[in-house]
Amino acid sequence: MIKNFVLILIFALSYVESFSQSKYGVDSVSCITNLSLFREYYKQKNYMEALTPWRWTFQNCPKASGNIYKNGPIIIKSMIKERPEQKKEYVDTLMLIYDQRIEYFGNQGYVLGRKGADLLRYDKSKFLDANEILARSIAIQKNRSDAGAVLAYFNTLDIMVKNEIISEDSLLNRYSFLMSIIDYNLKKNDKKSKFYQKTSDAIDKKIVNYIDCGKIENIFKQQFTINNNDTDFVNRLYNILSKQNCTETEFYFQVSKRLYEMLPSSSSASKLGKICIKRKEFNDAIEYFDMAIESEEDNDKKAKYLLEKADAYRISKNYSSAILTAKQSIELKKNWGEAFITIGNTYVAGAGNCSSDFLKSTVYWVAVDYFTKALSDESTNERARKSINTYSKYFPTKEECFFNGSLQSGDSYTVECWINKRTIVRTSD
């Protein structure tokens, strides 16, 4: 089959030979013969047989086809595996393939990325050369940089730090830039995204050896002051802080606020609200949750933000507002167990505001009523059951009920205090 295929191509080539000498070289017949042979062997994954005709085309008619350079690295890598004793020579050939591809077919940035990554892969002693090649590639490609080139470049930086050639601060500065490339490509969510995710995961495993929250702040605080109008920089810094769980610091709060000012969204407003709760800045938290609620169109998400606002009220001991807000979330998301749990917990938290021990214990009737409603939601069933078991123990006893209005189990009763809620009498014994 190969012979027939070659004869057809030779005949076709002879017809246009005078017009194609520059592409197919001096011996165009031999060029097309060897080109066809290596391609057929390559398609069969018979790389050993493909090597000789591939090498002939590479040396004698290098402009004949881009496949010489697309297929060549795979052929040579198979030879490195099959003939490890000749690894150095084959690696030299591999590097030459990339150089010649750039010379005849261009696409320098992309090809340099492949070259640098393969140089590091097959000869780690040349990490400085690989670093220089990859730096040139990424400078050209920027956000179009191949995931493999990004990872290989970071790995060269890692080796350079370990060999005390560059500082950890230098690595972290480059890390910031590389993560911006990764984040850009992850947001595209196309077929290549999985490769950038793998690169991100691999870098994350190594960066923990160098990075902590204090170090991030020391390196980037001044840059943040200078570049706080640069949306890409602020977003990149926010992502770095978030990835490294540096979310409890004043610096993270300032970066988050600035990012919200530049790129307002319901989700970022919600995150700021939760940060403000941790900082006990409850009025600010409620303002951020209000902004999240107002800007969100999806009812389920709006209900979530309402419940976060209810938590801010509950933690700040504004129990009535917490109950009202949680009920608003149920209007948007019917029979939502999380909202019922929040209401129940709010009643529990506010029980201490009642004037007597008996009144306090009656509050648990109302709390358990809401925990019971949460049983119907599969996502909250287990937590609701535990809460019912826990707080039912705080119900008043039969004796306490008798001495407070001759109450009996099953009687209807209005819990007073700040609650004013109708419920059913139950006892703990």
Q: Are 176 and 168 in contact (CB under 8 A)?
A: no
With 0-12 CB in 10 A as exposed, 13-18 as middle and 19+ as buried, what is 114?
buried
Q: What percent of the chain has pLDDT over 70?
A: 95
Q: How far is the C-alpha of 166 from the C-alpha of 44, rounded, in Å?
A: 46
Q: What percent of the chain has pLDDT over 90?
A: 78
| Residue partners of 211: CB distance under 8 A and separation at least 6 | 172, 175, 244
The neighbouring-strand residues paired with 423 are 413
Which range has the worst mean pLDDT, 133-147, 163-177, 258-272?
A: 163-177
Cβ neighbours around 203 below 10 Å, total: 20
Q: Crossing angle for the helix pair 168-188 and 231-243, nearest 10 degrees?
A: 100
Q: Is the pLDDT of residue 54 over 80?
A: yes
What was the pLDDT predicted at 4? 52
What was the pLDDT predicted at 219? 83
pLDDT digits (tens, 9 = 90+) for 185-224: 988 878 999 999 999 889 988 888 888 888 889 888 888 9
For the chain, what is the total number of helices (H) and then of strands (E)? 22, 2
Determine the 3-state secondary structure of 414 from DSSP.
strand
Nearest one of 197, 72, 76 to 147, comparing CA atoms: 197
pLDDT digits (tens, 9 = 90+) for 70-116: 999 999 999 999 999 999 999 999 999 999 999 999 999 999 999 99
Mean pLDDT over the full length of the chain: 92
| Mean pLDDT on 39-65 | 96
| Mean pLDDT on 118-133 | 97
What was the pLDDT predicted at 14? 52
What was the pLDDT predicted at 332? 96
What was the pLDDT predicted at 16? 44
What was the pLDDT predicted at 2? 52
Determine the 3-state secondary structure of 123 from DSSP.
coil
Q: Are 338 and 379 in contact (CB under 8 A)?
A: yes
* H or E stretch at 281: none
Determine the 3-state secondary structure of 423 from DSSP.
strand
Distances (CA, A) of 420 to 164, 175, 359, 363: 70, 58, 11, 10
Per-residue confidence band for 19, with pLDDT thresholds at 50, 70 and 90: very low
Q: Is the pLDDT of residue 169 over 80?
A: yes
| Mean pLDDT on 225-243 | 87
Per-residue confidence band for 179, with pLDDT thresholds at 50, 70 and 90: confident
Global pTM reads 0.69
pLDDT digits (tens, 9 = 90+) for 346-370: 999 999 999 899 999 999 999 999 9
What was the pLDDT predicted at 21? 53
